[in-house]
């Protein structure tokens, strides 16, 4: 039996749009308020082609996460420009933006704003999902002597906070539409991997939950963090915080390699390991409408390689 085709193409849901990443191109497609589609295509060069070390195992996972965050924030900002909260927001830039435009070129100013957004986002994520669980576990397990048990308690707290955050965000009305575009992205990729023509009717039949989704990757990060952090144990809270920060790149890199390994397989073990991530996608994806599927199809078509099959995972 022939092995099922798996593509390296992946995407991210935006505000009324989808970012799709291919082997050589990156595309953003947004549904404008007037109903028309706005497309933006950019060339892409894999980091390992610029510097071989960036393609090494573990390191490539950290690099990939950073690039996903960087381009994801830029794409979100781009899609948000089509849907300003009010007219004042659409016409009047902030004082900070005016200052940056005055001191720097618009291109450099955009890079600074994007990088600043990533730094703030990463700091909030690290604080919420890594440092806060460490602090809470320290209070709960104050009298527990076993470092292993302390790490298990910390891991349970981390997963509880993560799942609570995902569920809470999913209840927001605007986020539900983003999650619908997330579902459209998955259906479109499934349709393409199945070798069927990219039409709304074909894409609609496929599952909105994909095993190689970023949501599944985040869940793997939560699990791997329990295992990696259990290797080091210090009673001093400040040292525990410091070790967590130092080990985060290791957790991300190892999680990426595991996700990559699992994503290439379809056996019983792979299905068991991907099951939690697929379950989580029941929250982070919503059934899309036909217009959302059109956006997914258009964004995927724009990044397809010229030579068929060169995008194999």
User: Per the confidence metrics, is the pTM higher than 0.85?
Assistant: yes
pLDDT (0 to 100) of residue 283: 94
pLDDT (0 to 100) of residue 228: 87
pLDDT (0 to 100) of residue 55: 93
pLDDT (0 to 100) of residue 261: 85
Q: List the one residue out of 90, 138, 97, 95 whose CA is nearest residue 116.
A: 97
Q: Burial code of 173-191, b = ≥16 C-beta within 10 A, e = fewer?
A: eebebbbbbbbbbbbbbbb
pLDDT (0 to 100) of residue 262: 83
pLDDT (0 to 100) of residue 99: 56
Residues making up the chain, counted from first to last? 313
pLDDT (0 to 100) of residue 88: 47
Residues of the chain with pLDDT under 50: 1, 87-90
Q: Where are the domains of the chain?
A: 10-84+93-303
């Amino acid at each position: 039996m022939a092995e099922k085709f798996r593509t390296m193409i992946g995407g991210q849901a935006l505000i009324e749009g989808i970012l799709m990443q291919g082997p050589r191109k990156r595309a953003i497609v947004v549904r404008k308020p007037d109903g028309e589609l706005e497309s933006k295509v950019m060339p892409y060069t894999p980091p390992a082609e610029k510097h071989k070390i960036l393609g090494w195992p573990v390191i490539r996972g950290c690099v990939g996460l950073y690039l996903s965050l960087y381009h994801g924030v830029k794409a979100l900002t781009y899609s948000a420009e089509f849907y300003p909260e009010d007219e004042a927001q659409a016409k009047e830039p902030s004082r900070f933006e005016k200052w940056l435009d005055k001191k720097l070129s618009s291109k450099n100013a955009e890079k600074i704003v994007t990088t600043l957004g990533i730094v703030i986002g990463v700091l909030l994520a690290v604080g919420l999902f890594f440092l806060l669980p460490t602090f809470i576990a320290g209070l709960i397990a104050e009298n527990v002597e076993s470092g292993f048990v302390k790490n298990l308690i910390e891991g349970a707290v981390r997963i509880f906070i993560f799942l609570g955050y995902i569920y809470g965000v999913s209840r927001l009305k605007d986020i539900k539409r983003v999650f619908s575009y997330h579902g459209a992205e998955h259906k479109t990729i499934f349709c393409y991997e199945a070798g069927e023509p990219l039409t709304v009717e074909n894409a609609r039949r496929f599952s909105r939950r994909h095993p190689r989704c970023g949501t599944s990757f985040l869940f793997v990060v939560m699990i791997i963090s329990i295992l990696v952090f259990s290797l080091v144990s210090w009673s001093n809270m400040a040292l525990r915080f410091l070790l967590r920060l130092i080990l985060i790149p290791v957790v991300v890199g190892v999680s990426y390699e595991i996700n990559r390994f699992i994503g290439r397989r379809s056996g019983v073990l792979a299905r068991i390991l991907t099951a939690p991530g697929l379950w989580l996608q029941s929250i982070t994806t919503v059934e899309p409408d036909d217009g959302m599927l059109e956006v997914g199809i258009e964004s995927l078509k724009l990044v397809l390689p010229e030579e068929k099959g060169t995008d194999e995972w």
